[in-house]
């Protein structure tokens, strides 16, 4: 079973600070990491490999150096990594075309895996876009994946209903955070992964000519998340009394 896992290097959104004067997020200097849900996808890929054998390749398209972060995924148990350098100005269209070109170059694959969405922008667009470009079936929001020899059975979490889907290979699957708990590699695994190959491919080497984004970002504005932030730390009885008075004044106690 050959599996390609698409993983995105993102800024750690929990570390974002907001500039108090402009209310805009300050993105510079925010640490980078592999998007959490993509790690669930890597974990799932490794589990499938442990059952059926084969190879797990992690694939990332990044405009900044992703090598260090990708090493974590190799330490978890992926066999090989491919990093495609992206132009600075890349939208979902550009990145999905680069992913598709890289997957075609990797060649023999049964499953393409990824997180349901990346934690920075949380669209969930990349998976189905990529499946559309590759012309293969898609199973999105999978919270359970059971890979059998010649088909996969997966449960899609669609909110009010769970839809069980079945597909032969190749298939693209995006997973939710609930599917598993990504493993933490041991020191031995980290050391052992140092020799695993990390291939760096350019757009040219993929035979992709210039890509023009379909979307243009006009601006990223701040949100005025205006909360009163009144915190009562004193005596509990006093705090409860003050809170109930405030809520009554807000008109929410009727």
Partner 1 sequence: MVLVYSDDEKNMLELIAKAKDVSKELDEKATAVVFDTDDESLAKKYIMHGADRVFMVKTGLNTFKGEEYTDAMEKILEETNEEVVIVGSTKNGKELASRLAAKLDTGCVIDCINLYVKDGKLTTERVVYSGNAIAVERFNSKPAVVTIPPKVFDPLPEDESRAGEVIKKEVKVDGYPSRIVDVKEMKTGEVNVEDAEIIVSCGRGFKKKEDIQLVEELAKVLRGTTGCSRPIAADLKWLSEDHWIGLSGHKVKPKLYIAVGISGQIQHIAGMRDSDVVVAINKDPEALIFKSADYGIVGDLYEVLPKLTNAVKEKMS
Site for partner 1 in 52-111 (CB under 8 A): 91-93, 96
Binding mask 194-233 for partner 1 (x = CB under 8 A): ------------------xxxxxxxxxxxx-x-xxxxxxx
Among the listed residues 127, 147, 182, 203, the single contact to partner 1 using CB under 8 A: 127
Residues 157-186 that bind partner 1 (CB under 8 A): 157-168, 171, 176-178
Among the listed residues 80, 105, 137, 183, the single contact to partner 1 using CB under 8 A: 137
- C-beta pairs of 45-51 under 8 Å, 24+ apart in sequence: 45/3, 45/5, 45/78, 45/111, 45/113, 46/76, 46/77, 46/78, 46/183, 47/180, 48/1, 48/3, 48/111, 48/145, 48/147, 49/1, 49/3, 49/77, 51/147
Identify the sign of the CA torsion 165, 170, 174, 175. positive
Instruction: Report if residue 123 touches partner 1, rule: CB under 8 A.
Output: yes
Instruction: Report if residue 124 touches partner 1, rule: CB under 8 A.
Output: yes
From the CB of 225, what's the least distance to partner 1, in Å?
A: 7
Instruction: Report if residue 13 touches partner 1, rule: CB under 8 A.
Output: yes
**Who contacts 102 (Cβ-Cβ below 8 Å, separation ≥6)?**
59, 61, 82, 84, 201, 206
Residues 19-58 that bind partner 1 (CB under 8 A): 24-25, 27
């Amino acid at each position: 079973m050959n599996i390609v896992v698409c993983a995105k290097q993102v800024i750690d959104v929990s570390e974002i600070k907001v500039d108090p004067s402009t209310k805009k997020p300050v993105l510079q200097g925010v640490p980078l990491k592999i998007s959490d849900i993509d790690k669930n996808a890597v974990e799932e890929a490794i589990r499938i490999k442990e059952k059926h054998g084969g190879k797990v390749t992690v694939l990332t398209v990044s405009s900044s150096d992703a090598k260090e972060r990708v090493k974590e995924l190799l330490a978890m148990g992926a066999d090989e990594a491919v990093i495609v350098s992206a132009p600075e100005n890349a939208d979902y269209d550009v990145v999905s075309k680069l992913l598709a070109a890289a997957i075609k170059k990797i060649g023999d694959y049964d499953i393409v895996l990824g997180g349901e969405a990346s934690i920075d922008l949380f669209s969930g667009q990349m998976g189905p876009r990529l499946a559309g470009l590759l012309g293969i079936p898609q199973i999105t929001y999978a919270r359970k994946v059971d890979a059998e020899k010649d088909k996969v059975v997966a449960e899609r979490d669609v909110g009010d209903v769970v839809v069980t889907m079945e597909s032969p290979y190749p298939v693209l699957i995006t997973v939710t955070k609930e599917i598993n708990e990504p493993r933490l590699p041991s020191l031995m695994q980290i050391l052992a992964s140092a020799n695993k190959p990390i291939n760096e491919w350019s757009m040219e080497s993929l035979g992709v000519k210039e890509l023009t984004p379909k979307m243009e970002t006009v601006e990223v504005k701040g949100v005025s998340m205006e909360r009163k932030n009144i915190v009562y730390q004193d005596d509990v009885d006093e705090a409860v009394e003050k809170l109930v008075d405030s809520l009554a004044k807000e008109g929410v106690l009727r």
